[in-house]
Amino acid sequence: MSKLKLHNSVFVRHVFIALGFAALLLGIIGVFLPILPTTPFILLAAAFFARGSERFHSWLLQHHLTGPLIVDWYEHRSLRASVKRWAYVLTTISFSSSILIIQPIAIKLLLLILYLIVIYFLWRIPVRKI
């Protein structure tokens, strides 16, 4: 697992904690918005917490939803097959519903292009063999 290395300055640690919560919030919002990715923001929050707070870093690593994802990424630089399948399914549902709801054809095309880009990046992430 990644080494916890808190910053020496108390002020900077508070900045890292604030940035960690901002990244975590963006990750949570990304669950509901198709354009905002969730996983990179959760990983970023873990990195910020590793520099700012041992307590928040441990909390994020021990959380039943975020912990396995972060540990897999740090230790193996990959995702479990089940996580990757869920990412495909949720991304497809999210983008499809947005494309169906939006009226202007130009925005539908933009969403389709963004969807294809996200799917491409998901496809490139290695699958962890358990």
Burial code of 82-113, b = ≥16 C-beta within 10 A, e = fewer?
ebbeebeeebeebbeebbeeeeeeeeeeebee
34 neighbors 95 (Cβ within 8 angstroms)? yes
Residue 97 to residue 75: CA distance in whole angstroms: 35
Which mean pLDDT values do the consecutive 10-residue runs of the chain (130 residues) have?
A: 75 96 92 76 90 92 88 85 86 87 94 91 87
Query: Burial, 49: exposed, middle or buried (Cβ in 10 Å; 0-12, 13-18, 19+)?
Result: buried
pTM, two decimal places: 0.70
Q: Which pLDDT score is estimated for 1?
A: 52
Q: Which pLDDT score is estimated for 53?
A: 92
Q: Give the count of beta carbons closer than 10 Å to the beta carbon of residue 16.
A: 22
Domain ranges of the chain: 1-77, 79-130
